[in-house]
């Protein structure tokens, strides 16, 4: 079995200059935990929900909100993304994907073509769901 057999296709990506409120809204409204970041259509980074939790002030929209809290929303995707994420190709064996996820303690791998365009994404949840539901 290969990456192309279990990857999520039609991946939503954001441009590297997109602001965090848009990134946060996309992730929340779609139930995503990871969002690839692109520049001119090519993968340059990835943002996780943990990145947003770590960076966006918890005081936004509360009575304790201050100007510095709102400043956390003015950041662009490229300022918070993980640069040069580990990627796999569509023909990468699932065993190699599992090894990467375990070895570097990450929870998703973007799948890219030879020009670094995102063609899919695989998370540990996809692997578990596939293993759980296969015959």
Tell me the per-residue pLDDT of 103-133, one tens digit each, with 9 for 90 and over: 988 889 999 999 999 999 999 888 888 775 5
Residues 37 and 78: beta-carbon distance below 8 Å: yes
Q: How far apart are CA 88 and CA 111, in angstroms?
A: 5
Across 24-33, 56-65, 76-85, least confident range: 56-65
Which of helix, strand or coil describes residue 118? strand
Q: Which two tokens stand for residue 2?
A: 């290969």
Q: Where are the alpha helices (H) located in 11-73, listed in sequence order?
A: 20-30, 49-55, 67-71
Looking only at the bridges linking them, the beta strands covering 14-15 and 34-39 are parallel
| CATH no. of 3-133 | 3.10.580.10
pLDDT at residue 134 in the model? 54
Where is average pLDDT lowest: 40-44, 55-59, 114-118?
A: 55-59
pLDDT of residue 78: 95
Rounded Cα distance between 87 and 50, Å, is 19
CB 74 within 8 A of CB 68: no
Q: Does 46 have pLDDT greater than 80?
A: yes
The two tokens of residue 77 are: 């995707």
For 132, the token pair is: 């759980």
The pLDDT, as a whole number, for residue 133 is: 56
Domain range annotation of the chain: 3-133
């Amino acid at each position: 079995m290969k990456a192309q057999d279990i990857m999520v296709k039609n991946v939503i990506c954001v441009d590297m200059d997109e602001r965090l409120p848009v990134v946060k809204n996309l992730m929340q409204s779609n139930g995503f935990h990871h969002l690839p970041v692109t520049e001119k259509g090519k993968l340059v980074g990835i943002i996780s929900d943990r990145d947003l939790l770590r960076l966006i002030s918890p005081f936004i929209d509360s009575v304790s909100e201050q100007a510095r809290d709102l400043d956390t929303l003015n950041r662009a995707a490229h300022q918070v993304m993980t640069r040069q994420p580990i990627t796999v190709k569509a023909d990468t064996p699932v065993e190699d994907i599992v090894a990467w996820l375990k070895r570097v303690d990450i929870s998703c791998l973007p799948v890219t073509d030879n020009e670094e365009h995102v063609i899919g994404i695989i998370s540990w949840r996809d692997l578990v769901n596939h293993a759980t539901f296969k015959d």
